[in-house]
Structure 1
Amino acid sequence: MSRRNPWLNIGFAMWSLGYEASTVIALRTLKIAAGGPEASAESRRMIDEKLQAGAALQALAMTGALGVTAPAAAAKTLSHYRRKVRANRRRLTKI
């Protein structure tokens, strides 16, 4: 079924990314709420990462690296952001 309709897999990937992103948001909120220099650094890092991820995705789109079909572009976009979210989750859950 997913071969005929790639949007099913993309929908599941979007749901998974949303779940992981909400986890990262909660972890970052806790870190920022704790205050201090680490909170300030996390806030700066969060903004920098968002700008860098958006710029990198735009560069991929401009060079055609996201693919020529809408499902391919959507899947690669999700993959791009998912790598960033997973890296943040791993970093924020380290003890």
Structure 2
Amino acid sequence: MFSLFQNLASLAFESQQVIFLRTMKMAAGGPKAEAEARLMVAEKLAAAEDATMALMSGKAVDHVVASYRRRVRANSRRLMKG
């Protein structure tokens, strides 16, 4: 139970960083902002589909949260590069 709480808290913190980085990128406008918006929507749809399939196949909620955290960390690294 503690690991689930810890993963959820970490996901919330890490997600805020990605939201900030994406907001800054989109505020700049231009083709890169449009590409980021399209990527964001596509990623959210894919993540929701993966989460649904994982839960339907009996995976634990902690597994789904850990999967989201991996995606968020990958986005954070990509957005920090520029």
Q: Scaled by the length of structure 1, what TM-score is found?
A: 0.81
Q: Show structure 2 runs of 5+ residues with no match.
A: none
- In 2, the alpha carbon distance for the partners of 1:93 and 1:84 equals 14
**Alignment match of 2:2 (pick from 2, 8, 13):** 8
Structure of higher RCO (CA pairs closer than 8 Å, 6+ residues apart): 2
Which consecutive residues of structure 1, in runs of 5 or more, have no partner in the other structure?
1-6, 67-72
Q: Which digits, 9 at most, give the CA deviation of each residue in 1:32-85, with x for residues without a partner? A: 000000000101110110000000111122223x1xxxxxx1210111100110
RMSD value over aligned CA atoms?
1.0
Q: 3-state SS of the aligned residue for 2:16?
A: helix
Between Structure 1 and Structure 2, whose CA radius of gyration is higher?
A: 1
Which of 44, 61, 65 is the aligned partner of 1:74?
61
What is the identity percentage for the equivalent residue pairs of Structure 1 and Structure 2?
A: 45
Which protein is richer in helix relative to its size? 2
Distance in 2, matches of 1:77 and 1:23, equals 20
Quote the residue 1:3 is aligned against: none
